[in-house]
Amino acid sequence: MKNANSNFKKNCMDYKNLYAGLTSQLENEIPITVHPIRELVQIFRNHGNPITLNSKLTITSVLNSGDISGIMCSVLDNDGTVIACSLTHLIFDSKFRLYKDIIDYQRKREKRIKQLNKM
């Protein structure tokens, strides 16, 4: 059991290192305008803020939480509501400089989440 726990910790650190570059690049681009995915729209609505899929949100900060939650973002809507969410819950403009890197991260992250849920 001790070996499995140390492997888990090592794996978590590997993912934190893997996400470090993109996190740093995103930090340099803040503020970033994005749109929410459907699940994030529902979270905002549940908090009494009726946004839509077309609502513009602004990323105000990013945090690399490693394998546990991936890259987390603080997002601000037009009414001043702030919510923390995963980078996987945001849609970026295809012209954004880091768009391809973000799409690659989102695909890999979603695959990793499925893998973690099987454990």
What is the average pLDDT across 4-28?
71
Question: Tokens 């690399």 appear where?
Answer: 64
Q: How would residue 102 be classed by pLDDT, with cut points 50, 70 and 90?
A: very high
> pLDDT tens, 83-96?
899 999 999 999 99
CA atoms within 13 A on the CB side of 18: 15
Q: How far apart are CA 113 and CA 109, in angstroms?
A: 6
Tokens of residue 98, six digits: 């880091």
pTM score? 0.81
> pLDDT tens, 21-45?
999 999 999 999 999 999 999 988 8
